[in-house]
Amino acid sequence: MKKPLMILIAIIAILGFGSAAVLTTNKTDPGHHDMVGMQGHSSSASATEVVATDHVVIKDFAYAPARITVKKGTKVTWTNQDSAHHDITPDKDGADFAASKLLAQGESYSFTFEKTGVYAYHCSPHPYMKATVEVTE
Ligand SMILES: [Cu+2]
């Protein structure tokens, strides 16, 4: 008899606190609150998703998937499906990850990753096109 009553009181307390918090948030700055919520949603949907694949498609001025993970020694291939020319330019160029030439529509570029690490790259004509390759043991 005592325990269920305690739980009921706890639930009422949580519900009461929750609705009070929502009311406060809405009163203070509903616009800002909505924006924060949207940003959080979009980043968890696609931007942070790491896909295990060795093939990246370049389409609509974006690398897809933007974040991939492969095992050490894997050959990763990029294929440009856009009519615009794109390339794969490592943020830090070097032997661990070499840049491609500009790829025309239908052209591919492959690179074999021999060292573990997170390799960030972008497209040199369109620096806002960004992606990463994660190489694991
Ligand atoms: Cu590009």
Ligand 1 mean position to 75 CA, how many Å?
A: 21
Ligand 1 mean position to 127 CA, how many Å?
A: 7
**pLDDT tens across 77-94, in order?**
999 999 999 999 999 977
**Which residues neighbour 106 within 8 Å (Cβ) at sequence distance 6 or greater?**
79, 80, 81
Domain ranges of the chain: 2-47, 51-136
Token pair, residue 8, equals 């009921």
Ligand 1 mean position to 110 CA, how many Å?
A: 17
Token pair, residue 52, equals 């295990």
**Is residue 53 within 8 Å of residue 128, measured between CB atoms?**
no
Is the per-residue pLDDT at 102 higher than 70?
yes
Of the listed ranges 12-16, 45-49, 56-60, the one predicted with least confidence: 12-16
Ligand 1 mean position to 74 CA, how many Å?
A: 24
Class of domain 51-136: mainly beta
Dist. CA 48–CA 27, nearest whole Å: 32
pTM, rounded to two decimals: 0.66
Supply the pLDDT for residue 94: 79
Ligand 1 mean position to 85 CA, how many Å?
A: 6
Long-range contacts of 70-75 (CB under 8 A, 24+ apart): 70/113, 70/133, 70/134, 70/135, 70/136, 71/135, 71/136, 71/137, 72/113, 72/114, 72/115, 72/116, 72/135, 72/136, 72/137, 73/112, 73/113, 73/114, 74/112, 74/113, 74/135, 75/110, 75/111, 75/112
Task: Identify which has the larger pLDDT, 99 or 8.
Answer: 99
